[in-house]
Structure 1
Amino acid sequence: MTSAERHYARLGRTGLTVSRLGLGTVNFGDRVDEPAAHRLLDHALDRGINLIDTANIYGWRIHKGHTEEMIGRWLDSRARRDDVVLATKVGLPMTDRPNDGGLSLRHIVAACEASLRRLRTEWIDLYQIHKPDRGVGWDEMWQAMELLVAQGKVRYVGSSNAAGWQLAAGQEAANRRHFLGFASEQCLYNLVTRYPELELIPAAQAYGTAVLVWSPLHSGLLSGVLRKSREGSSVKSAQGRAASALAQQPDTIAAYEHFCAEIDRSPAEVALAWTIARPGVTAVLLGPRTVDHIDDAFRALDQPLSDTEQDELDKLFPPLGHGGPAPDAWISR
C-alpha cells in the first residue's frame, strides 16, 4: 500500500478524496482556545489532513456557533480554502425557539446560511444531519438538501448518529428522488463500542456510504486513563462516557493498558490503529488538544497492528454475539 493509499480514501461512492485522519473540533472554544485551535488547523493541513469536521452547536460552553466562528476566522486569514474538505452539521437546537432546530426545510436552509456566515465561506463540502429527526419525513429533509446543493452552498450530504435502518430508509428516499443521498455516516465506534458492526457499518457498505468515526478513544477511556489518573495528568479521561465505561470494566481497561505496554505502544495509538483498520471505516476523527496528538495519530495510521495483536484485542473487547454483521452475529451456529 502506498503512502497516498494509506493516508487518503474516497468518500464512499463519491469522487471526493478525504484524509483518513480527520480533525474534529468539538474541543475548540473550551479546552482549546483560538490561537491553539489555529495552530492545530495549520499543523493538520501541513501533515496532509484535509477533512475538518465541526457542527453548528460546537462551542456551546461559550455560545453555540463559537467553533464555526473560530474556524471561519482561520479560513479568512489563510488562502487555503481549496485545501480543506469542510464538514459541519445541522439539526440540534440552536435556541429555544420552536423552529430553530430539527430537520424541517425551513431550519435546514436557515441553519446552512448561518453556518456559511460563521465559517466565512461560500460552500460547505459535507453537510451532515446531526441525528435523524423522527418528526420530519425524509422527503422534506431531502428537498432542503437538494435546494442547497442546487444553489451551490452544499456539495455532499452526510448523516450522523443513525441506526442502520435509518441510513437505509434515508438513502432509499433519496434514490426515489434520483438524488445522490448520503455520502457518509458519522458514528461512535471504538473497541468499547462495537455495535455499529452489527447493522450500521454493513448498511453503509451496501450503499457505498463512507463511515466517519467519532470518539475513537471513547472520550479518553482508551488513551491511558488509569496511568494518567495515577499521574494526575488526565484532562478528560475520567469524565462522562469514559467514567461510566471505566466503572463497568476497570479490569478490562487495566489489562488493555498492560497489553499496550507489552507491545511498546501508547493506548491511544493502539485504539486508533485498531479503529482505522476496521472494515468499512473511511476516516477517524481526532479530537486533539496539542499538535503532538496529531503526530501520534499518524503513527497509528502508518504502523498497523499485527493479526496477533488484533486477536488479543478481540479477547479483551469481544465483538457482539458471534461477531460480524447481523443476523449471523446472534443466530445459533
Structure 2
Amino acid sequence: MSEKTMGYAHLGRSGLLVSRIGLGCMNFGDATGEADAFAIMDRAVALGVNFFDTADVYGGPQSAGMLKGFGTSEEIIGRWLKKSGRRDDIVLATKAYQPMGLGPNDRRLSAYHLKRACEASLRRLQTDHIDVYQMHHVDRATPFEEIWQAMQQLVTEGKITYVGSSNFAGWDVATAQLTAQHRHFLGLVSEQSLYNLTNRAIEQELIPALRHFGIGLIPWSPLAMGVLAGTQVEPDAVRRKSSGAQKQLRAYAGQLAAFEAVCAGIGHSPAEVAQAWLLHQPAVSTVLAGPRTVAQLEAAVNAASITLGTDVLAEIDRIWPGPGEAPRSYAW
C-alpha cells in the first residue's frame, strides 16, 4: 500500500486529516526495542500513516509504584523525530493522567499536573508542540472548568493544538463538551476507547454522544489482545499468550471459527477484517494498530483498502452482535 491508497479522514468535526490506520506506540521501549521502533516508524510514514499515538506512561509497567520505563516510548519517538526530520509529516498525539512519579500531584488532570506533564512530554518528544493532547482517563475529582482553563493556556502558548479524551463515558464527554462550549473553546475533537468485535459496549451510549458532538472515535485494542487475529498467528504473539487472551480464546471459540470462515470466504485474514470492520463504523476516524514488527504494521495497513459488502457486514454482526443504542438496548 502507498500513501496514495491509504485514505484519510477528518478527526471528528475538526479540519485535521488523519490516516485511517494510526500507529499506536505503546509497545515502544517495552515489547519493541528502539531499532525496531525506528524501522516501524520509517515504514509507517512510507505507507502514508500520519497519526502517531503514544502516552507519557508508555514504555514500562503501567501501575503506581512501578515507574521504571515510564516515558520511554516518548523518548524513542523524540530520538526518531530528531534523526528523521519527519516532524511535519506526522500528527503527533500523546496523553496525560497516569502516575509519572510518587508525589500526590504527579498524576490525574489538575491544572498543576497538566502543565508539568505537557512540558515533560515535549522534552521527551524533542518537539515544541503536541498536535493532539489527550486526557488518558476521566478525572471526576477535577472540575472541567479547571481542566479547560489549563488546556486553553497550553493552546495559547502553542504547546498543543487539539484536545482529545480517552476512556470517557458518554456523560463525561457531554459534560466536558458543554463546559468547553460555555468557555467558547473547541473542546474535544477525539475520544480513544476500547472497541472491537468482542467488546461493543460503547455503542450503547458513548458512540451516540460522540456522533452528537462531532467527536472522532479512535478505537484501541482493535484485535482484542490478538484474539481476533485468528488461529494462524505468529508463535511469539505476546499479548495473545496472556491469561486474559487465552481465556477469551476459549470463551469465543465458536464465534471465532465462524468469523474465520467468513474471512476465508472473502480472501482476507481475520486481523485485516476485524480492523476493516471498525473502519466501516461511521464514528471512527482512525484505528490504532499497535505493531511490534514491520510485518505487523503492514498487515494492519492492509485493512484500510478493504471494502466489506453489506452481506458480509450483516454476517459479522450476526456472529458478533452489538448491544444496540440506549435506551432501546435496555428499555421499550
**Distance change (3 Å), C-alpha of 1:183 and 1:245:** same
Partner of 1:46: 46
Verify: 1:96 aligned to 2:102, yes or no.
yes
Counterpart residue type for residue 88 of structure 1: T
1:276 matches 2:282: no
The CA distance in 1 between the partners of 2:330 and 2:42, in whole Å, is: 46
Q: Distance in 2 between matches of 1:160 and 1:240?
A: 25
Higher deviation after alignment, 304-313 or 144-153? 304-313
Verify: 1:313 aligned to 2:319, yes or no: no
Task: Tell me the SS of whatever aligns to 1:22.
Answer: strand
Q: Secondary structure at the match of 1:56?
A: coil
Q: Matched residues in 1 for 2:244 and 2:208: separation?
A: 25
In angstroms, what is the RMSD of aligned CA positions? 1.7
Instruction: After superposition, give the CA deviation of every residue in 1:69-92 in whole Å (9 maximum; x if it has no partner).
Output: 000000111222111100000011
Report the equivalent of 1:85: 91
Q: Map Cα deviations across residues 191-236 of structure 1 (whole Å, 9 max, x no partner).
A: 0111111111111111111111111111111011x344xx845332
Runs of 4+ in 1 over 3 A off after TM superposition: 3-6, 231-234
Q: One-letter code of the match for 2:141?
A: G
Change (3 A) 1:63 1:6: closer
Instruction: Determine whether 1:118 maps to 2:124.
Output: yes
1:5, distance to aligned residue in structure 2 (A): 9.0
Match of 1:180 in 2: 186
The residue that corresponds to 1:204 in the other structure is 210
Q: Which residue is equivalent to 1:328?
A: 328
* 1:248 maps to amino acid: A
Partner in structure 2 of residue 300 of structure 1: 303
Gaps of 5+ in 1: none
Q: 1:254 to 1:31 in 2, by over 3 A?
A: same
Q: Which residue of 2 aligns with 1:213?
A: 219
8 Å CA contact 2:6, 2:49 repeated in 1: no
Distance 1:255 1:227 in 2: 15
TM-score, structure 1 normalization:
0.93
Give the residue type in structure 1 aligned to 2:23: L
Other-structure match for 1:10: 10
Match of 2:245 in 1: 242
Deviations 1:170-205 (A, max 9, x none): 000111111110011111111011111111111111
Q: Deviations over 1:29-81 (max 9, x none)?
A: 12111011011111111111110000000001451001100000001112221
Q: C-alpha displacement at 1:291, in angstroms?
A: 1.9
Aligned: 1:75 with 2:81? yes
Larger RCO: 1 or 2 (CA < 8 Å, sep 6+): 2
**Alpha-carbon deviation of 1:244?**
3.6
Q: Which amino acid aligns with 1:305?
A: L
